[in-house]
Copies of this chain bind each other. A is one copy, B any other.
Amino acid sequence: MASSRAFTMTGGDVAYSYAKNSTIQRDGADAVKELIRQAILETFDLKCLGFDTSSTSVVKIADLGCSVGPNTFFSIQNIIEAVELKFLQAKNQNLSALEFQAFFNDHYENDFNILFKTLPPRKYFAAGVPGSFHGRLFPKSSLHLAHLSYALHFLSKVPKEVVDRNKSNVLNSSDKEVVESYSTQFKSDMECFLNARAEELVPGGLMFILAGAVPDGISASDTMAGLYNDVIGSCLKDLVKMGVLGEEKAKSFNVPVHLATVTEVEAVFRTNGNFSIEKMEKFAQPMKTPLTPESYALAVRAGGDGLFRNHFGDELAEQLFNHFNTNVEQNFPKFLGVLRNNLNLFIVLKRI
């Protein structure tokens, strides 16, 4: 619980809030907008879902790991427009009787107050659902569509073996046993995630997943996420050397994230058995909005602020962020260089 709590995006109205620093994720959502539309038109089978016989149709959609707006609102709106088009194309469908219910899910610590207050004018009924998507969140067969954007890499916890061995995935990122433990945790978490969704999605229901992944054959350190871990690790070592941070405190810091390889991701979906893989596309990380050292530093803080504060306390977390920012500024060409290795996966799963 403690570690899954930790990786909640920063809410509120601060400069480094996720709402204000999520253009990387927005560029990704933009890139898959048309892919989601196509998938709904081709794969969302109204007859199989029972919508052809019902007088009123309520389509239920969940955005899992939604954080706060505006990206989640954009994705829900896109899905709704595609479903409306699908209904419009189908014969004998009464579009005026069509209603949508959108469920916004994230951890209990997510800023739902901000999420609700920033809901745009909309034609759907909105609800917030607190809890980890590694477990059940919804009743059986109660969803038609689920969406998960850049959240697959969050683990439910730091792997037990890593904690027991007093290792850290930022200080010991190339330690094979650490890497293996994270990979095992990822597989186990994905199994829980897929089994929960298999219960919640109706047969014929679709799930869209947009996720970062490490290309096969490239070391994690040569990707943005891997470099991030390494630089955080190096900053921690510096702070220990400076006598600001205790060694034990540094050694016990882990980021509960596993950026899986393409092969790893494919494997978890293929072995689950509750879903058919309707589509799996790879594409380079879309970066319509040019990355600067400042925007990258803010994005990192929007993601990691809670995690760092929980472990190090406010003052040390502040020092760590400052040190990290200096490091990013000095080595920014290196960050831009690994960007080309960042791969995105877009996956469409259908509940069998």
Interfacial residues, chain A to chain B (CB-CB below 8 A): 56, 58, 97, 99-101, 103, 108-109, 111-113, 116-117, 119, 125-131, 136-142
- Tallying the copies of this chain within the complex gives 2
Task: State whether B125 touches A139 (Cβ < 8 A).
Answer: yes
Task: State whether A137 touches B125 (Cβ < 8 A).
Answer: yes
CB-defined A-B contacts under 8 Å, sample of 20? A56-B140, A99-B139, A100-B139, A103-B127, A112-B112, A112-B128, A116-B128, A116-B130, A125-B129, A125-B136, A125-B137, A125-B138, A125-B139, A126-B129, A126-B130, A126-B131, A127-B128, A127-B129, A128-B128, A128-B129
Residues of B within 8 A of A140 (CB): 56, 58, 97, 99
Main secondary structure of the interface of A (DSSP, over half): mixed
Tell me the complex Cα distance, A141–B101, Å: 12
Could you tell me the distance in whole angstroms from the C-beta of A22 to the nearest C-beta in chain B? 20
Could you tell me the distance in whole angstroms from the C-beta of A144 to the nearest C-beta in chain B? 12
Of all chain B residues, which has the CB nearest A136?
A: B125
For the complex of A and B, 3 pairs with smallest distance between CB atoms: A58-B139, A116-B130, A128-B128
Tell me the complex Cα distance, A137–B113, Å: 17
Tell me the complex Cα distance, A332–B56, Å: 55
Residues of B within 8 A of A103 (CB): 127
Tell me the complex Cα distance, A108–B58, Å: 23
Residues of B within 8 A of A101 (CB): 138-139, 142
